[in-house]
Structure 1
């Protein structure tokens, strides 16, 4: 892929945003995070329509030639736009460029919310210990509020239709398909879990906008532990809100290597916060199904990392690292959920 330079971006924005003059792109650099998309930060100064000088920070996201997640700029851009203004804090979207010819990949621009934290590993620092209960409250209550947003009020045209009866089977079939198309070797543990999931699927209490990757590391928070914005909506879809709750309870996201999920709270604490905020009940059998399902989803993502690396489609080292780090951990999580871990 061609490098994204300040000159290239400045020339593009000059043509794309003719209402702004004297554009200047400064301090452009790639952020070392995320396996699914390339993320850049830069400062943009310009003179607006009122002849007033402006300077703002921006985030640019670019689709790579191949990724561990089968999504694109248009999908995530539409997801952000759908939830913006509905009580869930997210960055404001600025521009979508679906034509890959400009930068060797589609791009999107969003406001850059700076001066905040997003590291999940910071929660292991003893200096943050007294703030973890508050951060847990912020995270799972925001997830619950997302589950409570009426989908009828959202523009969900960017994602496939679903019903309360078919969403579980539909999501399972989709991720099993991804797993099969990115095969990197025998998966006996994962296949056993798929057979168990195929025997029964829960009916959703309601349909909601599911974030798809709601966990520590995908939201910004300030020094006090207040949640500022939820990020990374590229897997957002219409579905069962228990999917998000189950994903946040994944064993592979127990970053503190204990029973605090996302390094923040016990399972019981997280579920209680979510139930209070959402007004829903986390039925134990249904939640267990979604937790096991999320192991399949996770394994499909980690296998996709390995596949794009092995095939040479994407040689970013994060692809190899994520596969190496998480595939065996995901198998262990499956065995634990199926009561087979001794």
Structure 2
């Protein structure tokens, strides 16, 4: 059995190489949530002052670089977004397997912000509600969708047809779901293909735009959008549908429904988006169903990895009962 990798030791090597012999590492630890292989730590000088706080995201060693494991794919995206008004954490460094980390990696500045999921326990800014926070997230999302990706990111991404995208998720679902879920998901997939919008807006999308991935400052304003692992170019409405179902308790099973602390009227999210984007978003129900189908597949796959012991994570045991609910609700809202 392979020995576990001491990423803290590798981080210390990286800090020495980048900041000099006197620099050190403190407060090293994994990032919260489902952030993949990522660690946060402070870099301090020989004089004990903090030089930088960073988050380092790593490609899993020995794993084929694809999708969310291809961390270097984010480099041109983060560099481009740094030239816009989209709030992102600055990219400080990137390197390949020749770096001390021994694998592809990027480092971003660690910002002193909190996500809405964590704020919801009672530390919202005075006079602000959860709806206020979500509205500000939606406004920031419209900036993402307004990015001129063809000018700033030539060759970075190509829109994928609904049929091809659903075929990708179907292959993943086939590895994970039971026959009942597969039958239900198949009905959703057929409806999505049959009723897909035409002529809708295309552009840069985040891919996982939800409360954990938006950081706020102490006053409740958006500090940064984080975790761009599955960003791409395509139907921007999917991000709006994704945020909407994430904050709608009716899309979750009984166990996870108890975990979800925020429940926002989807009509509010739809209205805020159209207001700040300055464009209409028709077929909102279709986008909610599309997003729920994608996440239902991700959840089913991760539940399987958890239960087989390949990637234990108790969060997905809590989420297991939500998998059929996500597909059922998708079927119910797809034409709304």
TM-score, L = length of structure 2: 0.81
- Of stretches 272-281 and 101-110 in structure 1, the one that deviates more from structure 2 is 101-110
Aligned-residue CA RMSD (Å): 3.3
CA contact (8 A) 1:184 1:306 kept: no
- Tell me, yes or no, if structure 1 residue 173 matches structure 2 residue 176: no
1: CA distance, partners of 2:322 / 2:59: 23
Residue 26 of structure 2 aligns with which residue? 26
Residue 50 of structure 1 aligns with which residue? none
- Tell me, yes or no, if structure 1 residue 184 matches structure 2 residue 177: yes
Choose the corresponding residue for 2:306, options 305, 309, 318: 309
Q: Aligned with 2:176: secondary structure?
A: coil
Unaligned runs of 5+ in 1: 48-52
User: 1:207-286 to 2 correspondence within 5 Å?
Assistant: 207-250=202-245, 252-254=246-248, 263=262, 265-283=264-282, 286=283
2: CA distance, partners of 1:107 / 1:76: 10
1: CA distance, partners of 2:126 / 2:299: 30
Unaligned runs of 5+ in 2: none
- Of stretches 264-273 and 226-235 in structure 1, the one that deviates more from structure 2 is 264-273
**How far is the alpha carbon of 1:59 from its aligned partner?**
0.8
Residue deviations 1:182-231, cap 9 Å, x none?
32322221111011112232224332110011121211112321111001
CA contact (8 A) 1:144 1:276 kept: no
- Tell me, yes or no, if structure 1 residue 71 matches structure 2 residue 65: no
CA contact (8 A) 2:92 2:108 kept: yes
CA contact (8 A) 1:249 1:291 kept: yes
1: CA distance, partners of 2:20 / 2:334: 58
- Tell me, yes or no, if structure 1 residue 58 matches structure 2 residue 54: yes
1: CA distance, partners of 2:10 / 2:123: 44
1: CA distance, partners of 2:226 / 2:318: 19
- Tell me, yes or no, if structure 1 residue 199 matches structure 2 residue 198: no
CA 1:111/1:238 → structure 2, altered by over 3 Å: closer, same or farther?
A: same
TM-score, L = length of structure 1: 0.80
CA contact (8 A) 2:56 2:107 kept: yes
2: CA distance, partners of 1:338 / 1:264: 20
1: CA distance, partners of 2:274 / 2:60: 37
Residue 82 of structure 2 aligns with which residue? 84
- Tell me, yes or no, if structure 1 residue 337 matches structure 2 residue 333: yes
**How far is the alpha carbon of 1:338 from its aligned partner?**
5.3
2: CA distance, partners of 1:331 / 1:2: 38
CA 1:334/1:201 → structure 2, altered by over 3 Å: closer, same or farther?
A: closer
**How far is the alpha carbon of 1:142 from its aligned partner?**
1.1
1: CA distance, partners of 2:194 / 2:41: 50
Residue 5 of structure 2 aligns with which residue? 2
2: CA distance, partners of 1:156 / 1:112: 28
1: CA distance, partners of 2:308 / 2:73: 25
CA contact (8 A) 1:58 1:111 kept: yes
- Of stretches 134-143 and 149-158 in structure 1, the one that deviates more from structure 2 is 149-158
